[in-house]
């Protein structure tokens, strides 16, 4: 049985044989310049396909400019097993750091989201498939610590093929370690919002990522414990094209919402408002609670347009 694997699969038809340029839409073949795609939050303007987003770019998308302060930056994997497969683990780590500029597959810190403070933990699939090892576990816990210490919500954005096999049992233990951190938040009444990006699988979805007080996914994200290939190879069952996809998960009761990336920051602002302390309202009025002035939302108009009234209709479906 191998439910945890690093090299996650793409849906059928997503992957052509041979190489495809990362800025070519796998769904409609539109091609974009990188700055174009970045400006569009890496969402295909033609068909709405959501391209992968690196950790730092994701932070730019949701955190107010200039407010992000990273924590745990200097932590690095230490390879206690002196693990060698076809290549040494240390070589793979070096390559990943050079390719991504990151010290591991998760970036932790604090910042403001549309004016409200939050602790942040964002994963990067480009760093060894977003695999969870000791550094990721510790960094996630540091973000949770910051949330706990300051009494501010924790927001995580995950993208992971699962546990990092090169750390074997220590990688597995990060599931217990991160769940313990979520347990502390729950005990203290500190909100935790989990955002699942494509793909969130294996040990990450079977631990902290599933335990958000609110769990939101990006459209079409693959969210499953075992990937479709493992399921098919192990059990001989066929998987449907929508197996494990965000929309299936919503229907199957695992998610609160599937939110297009362009609306994500607005939804986070709404949630941070809802999780903020009660305020006295002036004489029976039911107007929206004021938000910081000048707050804007990426890809949308001013905040109050989004937060003005009940938006249940939009999120249903």
Partner 1 sequence: MVRVSDEVRRLRKRFEARAEESHVWESVQLARHADRPYTLDYAERLFSDAFELRGDRAFSDDEALIAMLARYHGQTVVAIGHQKGRDLAERTRRMFGMPHPEGYRKAIRAVELAERFGYPVLTFVDTPGAYPGVNAEERGQAGMIARSILAFCQASVPVVCSVIGEGGSGGALAIAVGDRVLMQENAIYSVISPEGCAAILWKDAGQARKAAYAFRPTAGACLDLGVVDAIVGEPKGGAHEDVDQAARLLDQAIRQALAEAESVSAAERRAARRAKFRRMGVWGVADEDGADTL
Shortest gap between Cβ of 219 and Zn ion (angstroms)?
12
Burial 88-100 (b: 16+ CB within 10 A, else e): ebeebbeebbeeb
Residue 203 interface partner, choices Zn ion, partner 1, none, CB cut-off 5-8 Å depending on type: partner 1
Q: Which one, 63 or 209, has the nearer CB to partner 1?
A: 209
Nearer to partner 1, 25 or 205 (CB): 205
Q: By CB under 5 A, what part of segment 279-308 binds Zn ion?
A: none
For Zn ion, the binding residues in 31-50 under the rule CB under 5 A are: 44, 46-47, 49
Nearer to Zn ion (CB atom), residue 2 or residue 47: 47
| CA 258, 259, 265, 266 torsion-angle sign | negative
User: Which is nearest to 191 in space by CA: 152, 158, 156?
Assistant: 152
Paired strand residues for 106? 123
Residues 6 or more apart from 294 whose CB is under 8 A from it?
A: none
Residues 159 and 10: their CA atoms lie apart, in Å, by 13
- Taking the least distance from each CB to partner 1, the nearer of 252 and 294 is 252
Residue 36 Cβ vs partner 1, minimum distance, rounded to whole Å: 32
Q: Which of residues 227-266 bind Zn ion (CB under 5 A)?
A: none
25 or 291: CB nearest partner 1? 291
244 binds, among Zn ion, partner 1, none (CB under 5 to 8 A by kind): partner 1
- Six-digit token string for 48: 């709405």
Q: Which does 47 bind (CB under 5 to 8 A by kind): Zn ion, partner 1, none?
A: Zn ion
91 binds, among partner 1, Zn ion, none (CB under 5 to 8 A by kind): none
Q: 31 or 186, CB closer to partner 1?
A: 186
Residue closer to partner 1 (CB basis): 27 or 248: 248
| Residue 78 contacts residue 134 (beta carbons within 8 Å) | yes
Q: How many residues bind Zn ion (CB under 5 A)?
A: 8
Q: What separation in angstroms does the CA of 274 have from each of 20, 112, 262, 270, 289?
A: 42, 15, 20, 6, 10
Nearer to partner 1, 33 or 238 (CB): 238
Which entry of Zn ion, partner 1, none binds 151, CB below 5 to 8 A by partner kind? none
Q: How far is the CB of 49 from Zn ion (least distance, A)?
A: 4
Q: Would you tell me how many other CB atoms lie within 10 Å of the CB of residue 279? A: 8
Q: Does 99 bind Zn ion (CB under 5 A)?
A: no
The one of partner 1, Zn ion, none whose footprint includes residue 56, by CB under 5 to 8 A per kind, is none
Indicate if the alpha-carbon torsion angle 102, 103, 107, 112 is positive or negative. negative
Q: Contacts with Zn ion in 8-27 (CB under 5 A)?
A: 25, 27
Q: By three-state DSSP, how is residue 187 classified?
A: helix
Partner touching 189 among partner 1, Zn ion, none, CB below 5 to 8 Å by kind: partner 1
Phi then psi for residue 268, to 5 deg, are -60, -40
Distance CA(32)–CA(55), nearest Å, equals: 20
The partner in contact with residue 287, picked from Zn ion, partner 1, none with C-beta cut-offs of 5 to 8 angstroms by kind, is partner 1
User: What are phi and psi for residue 95, nearest 5 degrees?
Assistant: -60, -45
**Ordered DSSP codes for 117-154:** EEEEEEE-TTTGGG-B-HHHHHHHHHHHHHHHHHT--E
Q: How far is the CB of 47 from partner 1 (least distance, A)?
A: 25
**At its nearest, how many Å lie between partner 1 and the CB of residue 233?**
9
Give the residues lining the site for Zn ion (CB under 5 A): 25, 27-28, 30, 44, 46-47, 49
């Amino acid at each position: 049985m191998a439910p945890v694997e690093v090299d996650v699969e793409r849906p059928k038809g997503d992957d052509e044989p041979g190489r495809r340029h990362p800025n070519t839409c796998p769904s409609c073949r539109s091609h974009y310049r990188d700055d174009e795609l970045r400006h569009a939050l890496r969402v295909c303007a033609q068909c709405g396909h959501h391209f992968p987003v690196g950790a730092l770019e994701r932070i730019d998308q949701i955190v107010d400019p200039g407010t992000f302060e990273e924590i745990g930056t200097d932590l690095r994997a230490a390879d206690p097993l002196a693990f060698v497969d076809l290549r040494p683990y240390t070589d793979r780590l070096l390559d990943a750091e050079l390719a991504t500029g990151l010290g591991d597959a998760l970036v932790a810190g604090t910042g403001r989201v549309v004016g409200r403070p939050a602790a942040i933990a964002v994963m990067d699939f480009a760093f060894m498939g977003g695999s969870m090892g000791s550094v990721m576990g510790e960094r996630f816990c540091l973000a949770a610590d910051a949330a706990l210490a300051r009494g501010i919500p924790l927001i995580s954005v995950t993208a992971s093929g699962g546990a990092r096999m090169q750390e074997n049992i220590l990688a597995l233990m990060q599931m217990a370690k991160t769940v313990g951190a979520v347990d502390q938040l729950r005990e203290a009444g500190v909100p935790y919002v989990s955002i699942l990006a494509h793909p969130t699988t294996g040990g990450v979805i079977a631990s902290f990522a599933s335990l958000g007080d609110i769990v939101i996914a990006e459209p079409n994200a693959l969210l499953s414990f075992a990937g479709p290939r493992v399921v098919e190879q192990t059990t001989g069952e066929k998987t449907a094209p929508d197996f494990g996809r965000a929309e299936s998960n919503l229907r199957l009761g695992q998610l609160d919402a599937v939110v297009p990336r362009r609306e994500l920051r607005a939804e986070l602002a709404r949630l941070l408002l809802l999780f903020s302390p009660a305020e006295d309202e002036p004489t029976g009025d039911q107007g929206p609670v004021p938000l910081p002035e000048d707050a804007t939302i990426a890809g949308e108009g001013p905040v109050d347009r989004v937060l003005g009234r009940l938006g249940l209709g939009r999120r249903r479906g």
